[in-house]
Structure 1
Amino acid sequence: MSTKIHNGYRLAAGTNLFDFTRRVRTVIDPIRDDLDAALLAKLFASAVDTCWLKGEGVPPTLSLTAFSRWEDGQAKLKDESREKDPHRFEMCLGEDPGTGRILIRLYTDQQVMVDAFEVLDDVESYAYWNNDDEPKGVTSEQWDERRAAWDRVMPDYTAPSESMLTFTLRSSSNPRTMMLCAVDGGESDPVLTKVPGRAERAMNIARTRYLHLLVNIHEVDALVAFRHSLTGRVTDELAAIATMVEPHLWKIDRELLVNGDLKRISDPAVAAAVDTACATLFEAKKTGLPVPGKA
């Protein structure tokens, strides 16, 4: 059976496990907060710009509403989905009965977390696989030692969740992220400082309206339409549409996200001009797109 433990590590002999996990939290928690703040900033900007696009005012507590909708979407994802808990940080820790050393399997999709973990004192890479040669700098004898160690920690290919202890940085109910939704840090608020710039927001709106036209009006497959919208065939045209939007976007601040503004309405003429430009773009670039019922 193929064995691939690319996420394997080993702690130095004598490492106190409780002290080690405390140090992990001290280092990784701020990184998680920073990643969460960036995610929330994009969610909030998208929620505000959706109101702008629909010609609706911004309701109170939009920040909490946007985050709640995101959490609802997360709850519907399967555990194996890559979109599920994108900032997770988990470790499975097991004691090698042959040496007494602690082996770790690390689970995170964020390279910044991996990098921070790997430079911690007492941590060394202890990956192992049997479908390719050992890496440079590791002798065949050392490679065999790793195989034997992992076999002892996870005998008979036992799942890590059954043969090791699990450490989770954050639970699915995350009060630290909820606190970020309050955006009460003033001008230096960690979320507000990461809100996408107007140019990026305008480009997102242009691409969203173009995708709406392709998928909902012309029934182009959603994945095909999305890939098409990212190609160089339409980049310049979407950028031009974005310039129509950018001057009219609302400033995103705490007042808007928390208290809302139901009286602030976008100019319908701008939205109409965007849709017209998207329709013109479609007519110019529709060749090659699989549009149902059309040759």
Structure 2
Amino acid sequence: MSTKIYNGFRLAEGTDLTAFKHEVRSIIDPLRDQEDLKLLAATLAKRVDERWLAGEPILPGAVETAYSEWVDAQSKMSVYDYAYDLNRFELSIGTDPGSGRSMVIARVENRVLLDAFEEMPEVEEYGYWNNTDSYPEGVTRGDWEKREAAWDRMLPGFGRISATMDTWTLRDTVEMRDELHSLDGPGAARILALTPVSEDRATNTGQDAYADYLHQEQGVAPMRAVQHVAFGRGESIRTVIDTIASYLPVLTKELLTEGSGATVLDPGYRDAVRAACASLYETDKTELARNGQ
């Protein structure tokens, strides 16, 4: 049977679990706030830009709208969905009956949170897997066999974790504290600081615009157009991205609070993007023709 405990850890001898959990919370909680705000800032920018580039005005209360949409989307997901609670932090903790040491399995997808946990002085990487002969750097075969024995004692027959370990969860909800997602509170400056820059906001739109141009105006097969942009061109469609970025609004507290009123996207936007795509195509058409459009 294949055994994979990639995020396995062992705590230092004599670690007081109550004090340890308090320390974990004091370190991870602020980082979780930061990573959650990154998600909110990205969602906010995406929603604002979608309306703006569609020629619609930005409505008042954009942050709360983006937050409500994010919470609603999370509520409709299964806990098994990839995008559900991307910043979760859960630890299964048990005692190795042989050594008396505390063993930990971390369920953490965000590397920022996991790295911070691993850097704690009480925490020792102690994973184990039997599907490969590749050991972590500095671990000998003898060390590996000791790990196998420890996890076999902790999880007899490598059975269900819940049978021998208790699970500790940093938070029991994906919702953020109210003061963090309000532009009237201390979260305002942090949200604005974490909002993606205009070039990053325009990247996906630029890729889509150029692929659409290749298909609609130059007759390139849809899949070929997408492959060319994603793998042949990638980030080098900078001229299109920069053109789109120049038309995006600056996300200020005033704009996100009060909206744009009657102000909407510059009517010259579509012609400018088309011109950028046409210019880029002039450098690409030989390669596209060679490989067959």
| Shorter-chain TM-score range | 0.7 to 0.9
Matched letter for residue 182 of structure 1? S
1:92, distance to aligned residue in structure 2 (A)? 1.0
Alpha-carbon distance, 1:241 to partner = 2.3
2:53 matched residue in structure 1: 53
Q: Which moved more, 1:127-136 or 1:96-105?
A: 127-136
Separation in structure 1 between the aligned mates of residue 216 and residue 14 of structure 2, nearest angstrom = 61
Task: State the superposition RMSD in angstroms.
Answer: 3.3
Q: Which runs of no fewer than 5 residues in structure 1 stay unpaired?
A: 289-293
- The amino acid across from 2:32 in the alignment is R
Counterpart of 2:145, as a letter, is D
1:221-240, aligned counterparts within 5 Å? 227-233=227-233, 235-236=235-236, 238-240=237-239
Q: Are 2:10 and 1:14 equivalent residues in the alignment? A: no
Partners of 1:198 and 1:133 in 2: CA distance: 43
Following superposition, the deviation at residue 259 of structure 1 comes to 2.7
TM-score (norm 1): 0.81
Matches within 5 A, 1:1-295: 1-130=1-130, 131-132=132-133, 134-176=135-177, 178-184=178-184, 189-210=189-210, 220=222, 227-233=227-233, 235-236=235-236, 238-275=237-274, 277-278=276-277, 287=288
CA contact (8 A) 2:179 2:186 kept: no
Output the CA distance in 2 between the equivalents of 1:210 and 1:79: 36
Question: CA–CA distance in 2 between the matches of 1:171 and 1:213?
Answer: 46
- Mapped to 1, the partners of 2:138 and 2:65 lie a distance apart of 52
Q: AA paired with 1:267? A: D
CA contact (8 A) 1:44 1:257 kept: no
CA distance in 2 between partners of 1:187 and 1:169 (Å): 20
Q: What is the CA distance between 1:140 and its match in structure 2?
A: 4.0
Letter in 2 for 1:119: E
Amino acid at match of 2:240: I
Distance 2:231 2:169 in 1: 39
Q: In 2, distance between residues paired with 1:152 and 1:101? A: 11
Q: TM-score, normalised by structure 2?
A: 0.82
Aligned-residue offset at 1:75: 4.1
- CA displacement, residues 91-147 of structure 1 (integer Å, 9 cap, x when unaligned): 111122223221001122222222211221321121122231544544444433322
> What SS class does the counterpart of residue 35 from structure 1 fall into?
helix
Measured against aligned partners, the alpha-carbon deviations of 1:182-212 in whole angstroms (never above 9, x if no partner) come to 1345797111012222333344432243456
**C-alpha separation in 1, matches of 2:136 and 2:244:** 52
* One-letter amino acid matched to 2:183: V
Structure 2: give runs of 5+ residues left out of the alignment.
Answer: none
**Bigger CA drift: 275-284 or 245-254?**
275-284
The answer as to whether partners of 2:33 and 2:176 remain within 8 angstroms in 1 is no
Structure 2 partner of 1:291: none
Equivalenced residue count is 288
Deviations along 1:252-272, one digit per CA (max 9) or x if unpaired, are: 012222332331211222134
The code of the aligned residue for 2:31 comes to I
CA contact (8 A) 1:27 1:116 kept: yes
Worse-superposed segment, 166-175 or 1-10: 166-175
Q: Percent identity?
A: 38
